[in-house]
Amino acid sequence: MLDRFESRLDGEFAEVDRARLLERLAAALPPHRLIATPESMRPYETDGLAAYRSLPAAVALPADADEAGAVLRACRELGVPVVARGAGTGLSGGALPFPGCVLLALGKLNRILEIDPLARTARVQPGVRNLAISEAAKPYGLFYAPDPSSQLACSIGGNVAENAGGVHCLKYGLTVHNIVKLEALTIEGERLTIGSDALDAPGFDLLALLTGSEGLLAVVTEITVRLLPIPADVKTLLVAFPDARCAAQAVADIIAAGVIPAGLEMMDALALRAAERFAHAGYPEDADAILICECDGHAGDAGAELERLADICRAAGASLIRLAKDEAERTRMWAGRKGAFPAMGRLAPDYYCIDGTIPRRRLPDVLEGIAELSRVHGLAVANVFHAGDGNLHPLILYDAQAPGQLERAETLGGAILELCVEVGGTITGEHGVGREKINQMCVQFSEAELTAFAAIKAAFDPAGLLNPGKAIPTLARCAEFGAMHVHHGETRFADLPRF
């Protein structure tokens, strides 16, 4: 099971006396910011992937970068692994602690340090919530573009670590496109400034390397984000299709026609019905799929773009095209989409969210492939996704109390990800590999590629103490996983010993 750290497969660490560790941490932090009893550590035992749970040796809550550095130095000296944590909304078990490790929770570093309206930047600490940045920038007519659906809760530090996306990243880019500078700590507790206040920096592009590195290379302690002017006008369209294939075709046609909407989201029949009952968003329940299309910009241009978009959808066979007539209706249209995850709670006790990306043109085939896999594994799957970027979020419905269902959900999820890789896509578009997809990494990457990743990690963290067992699998793990797994008819990692 992936919720257990296995030294054989994930890496060996020396046994450290817990009393000694706590003593060292007590020298780095005041008592109320060092948590070590099982009851008080309980809130930290899992992230957004609640199926995996485990308690660390201690939870450290530094209040600034100096304290965080002191914790890191102590861990480095004792050889204790460190798992950074933001808000714990991650969906891949990236912030899942393991027994014996120190969980470095950055929630107390939660200050917006500066907003510079002329430079259009905000300098913030990692524990600041994503949405709080846009709220603080609003009086200046500016906003922070990447808007994950979890933006009310997730931290900007977690966004950097995952390279988070959002419903508007088709037009405005991912986290990596919207940050300019980081302050980070190495495992030695040494401060690094990455990127700059200019548009580039000398040397290698470490800003790009650190973004999405899931806490394996360094701990981010300060972020300068780029802010954008709030668009003059926003227009939103709800489009229904009698056949999901037509909706998928419309998505490809829109992009091919040179239209880059601010957002282009799709929901299939199961998802849209659940969302409608949950949020009363006004979705037609008899549709096979809906698209939510948003255009923004100069008032005249957003309207014209929306017209072109509507024409393309009509030609692709849309059965209903409705323009939100005011802000209230617009908010309602989005409420259904944004509430799609909680809405699943009405369909089944549990759901498991998958996060593959595929080339857009393969959408119809992949949707059919998922339906087929869903039949084979006997679990329903609802699809809610960022169609414009081909980023799928199949939601597998199951009941954790029913024996065997969680395992079946995991097998089905793995099969869907492998389908994504097969059609030229990837196992994760925005949620990260974390713990959850560590085995699928062996499918997407070769032994040489994984060795290169490990070498890059070692260049930052030679003892492998930052978030071990996550994101980059060891070759031993791949050898074991490969034994059960045949890729394109060939056994991968065939020359490595099996355990």
Partner 1 sequence: MPTSLASEPRATGDIAAALSESIRRAAAERAALAITGGDTKAFYGRSTDGEPLSIAGHRGIVAYDPSELVVVARAGTPLAEVETALAANGQQLAFEPPRLGPASTLGGVVASGLSGPRRPFAGAVRDCVLGATILDGHGRQLRFGGQVFKNVAGFDLFRLMAGALGVLGVILEVSIRLAPAPRREAALALETPSADARRKLAELMRRPVPLSGAFHDGRQLHLRLSGGEAGVEAISRELGGESEDLAFWDAVRDLRHPALAGDGPLWRLSLPQSAPIPPVGEALAWDWAGALVWMRSDLAPEQIWRGAGAAGGHATLFRGASGGAEVFQPLAPAMLALHQRLKAALDPAGVLNPGRLYGAL
Positions that interact with ligand FAD (CB under 6 A):
47-48, 83-91, 94-95, 106, 126, 148-150, 154-155, 157-159, 161-162, 164-166, 214-215, 219-220, 341, 430-431, 434, 467
Q: Considering beta carbons, is residue 187 or 478 the nearer one to ligand FAD?
A: 187
For the segment 173-192, give every residue that binds partner 1 (CB under 8 A).
173-174, 176-177, 190, 192
Residue with CB nearest ligand FAD?
Answer: 158
Task: Region of 205 please: left (phi>0), alpha (psi -120 to 50) or beta.
Answer: beta
Find how far residue 162's CA is from the centre of its chain: 5
- Which option in partner 1, ligand FAD, none does residue 242 bind, with CB closer than 5 to 8 A by kind? none
Closest approach of Cβ 400 to ligand FAD, in Å? Answer: 17
Among 50, 113, 452, 494, the residue binding partner 1 under the rule CB under 8 A is 452
Angle (CA) 437 443 444, round 5°: 85
Task: Region of 304 please: left (phi>0), alpha (psi -120 to 50) or beta.
Answer: alpha
Closest approach of Cβ 205 to partner 1, in Å? Answer: 5
Q: Considering beta carbons, is residue 90 or 369 the nearer one to ligand FAD?
A: 90
Q: How many CB atoms lie within 10 A of CB 3?
A: 15
Q: List C-alpha distances in Å: 218 to 222, 323, 465.
A: 12, 46, 10
If binding is defined by CB under 8 A, does position 37 make contact with partner 1? no
Q: Considering beta carbons, is residue 233 or 286 the nearer one to partner 1?
A: 233
The pair of structure tokens assigned to 10 is 């994930």
If binding is defined by CB under 8 A, does position 402 make contact with partner 1? no
- Which option in partner 1, ligand FAD, none does residue 345 bind, with CB closer than 5 to 8 A by kind? none
Euclidean distance between CA atoms 361 and 130, whole angstroms: 32
Q: How many CB atoms lie within 10 A of CB 90?
A: 28
Q: How many CB atoms lie within 10 A of CB 88?
A: 22
Q: Considering beta carbons, is residue 175 or 249 the nearer one to ligand FAD?
A: 175
For the segment 363-382, give every residue that binds partner 1 (CB under 8 A).
none
Q: What x-and-dash track marks residues 156-175 binding partner 1 by CB under 8 A?
A: ------xx-x---xx--xx-
Q: What x-and-dash track marks residues 455-484 binding partner 1 by CB under 8 A?
A: xxxxxx----------xx------------
- For residues 219 and 207, the answer to whether their CB atoms sit within 8 Å is no
List, in sequence order, every beta strand (DSSP E) within 298-405: 320-323, 350-353, 381-385, 394-398
357 pairs with which residues across the strands? 391, 426
If binding is defined by CB under 8 A, does position 230 make contact with partner 1? yes
Burial of residue 174 (number of CB atoms within 10 Å: 0-12, 13-18, 19+): buried
Euclidean distance between CA atoms 1 and 351, whole angstroms: 18
Q: Considering beta carbons, is residue 56 or 482 the nearer one to ligand FAD?
A: 56
- Beta-sheet pairing, 320-323 with 263-268: unpaired
DSSP 8-class letter at 283: -
Q: Considering beta carbons, is residue 33 or 485 the nearer one to partner 1?
A: 485
- For residues 148 and 164, the answer to whether their CB atoms sit within 8 Å is yes
Among 151, 159, 213, 221, the residue binding partner 1 under the rule CB under 8 A is 213
Closest approach of Cβ 263 to ligand FAD, in Å? Answer: 11
Listed ranges 28-36, 75-83, 145-153, 229-237: which one lies at the site for partner 1 (CB under 8 A): 229-237
Task: Classify each residue of 306-333 as buried b or exposed e, where b means 16 or more C-beta atoms within 10 Å of its C-beta.
Answer: beebbebbeebebbebbbbeeeebbebb
- Which option in ligand FAD, partner 1, none does residue 261 bind, with CB closer than 5 to 8 A by kind? none
Closest approach of Cβ 228 to partner 1, in Å? Answer: 8
Q: How many residues bind partner 1 (CB under 8 A)?
A: 92
If binding is defined by CB under 8 A, does position 138 make contact with partner 1? no
Listed ranges 26-34, 127-135, 333-341, 358-366: which one lies at the site for partner 1 (CB under 8 A): 358-366
Amino acid at 28: A
Listed ranges 98-106, 117-125, 273-281, 318-326: which one lies at the site for partner 1 (CB under 8 A): 117-125
Among 426, 475, 483, 496, the residue binding partner 1 under the rule CB under 8 A is 426
The H or E element spanning position 84 is strand 82-85
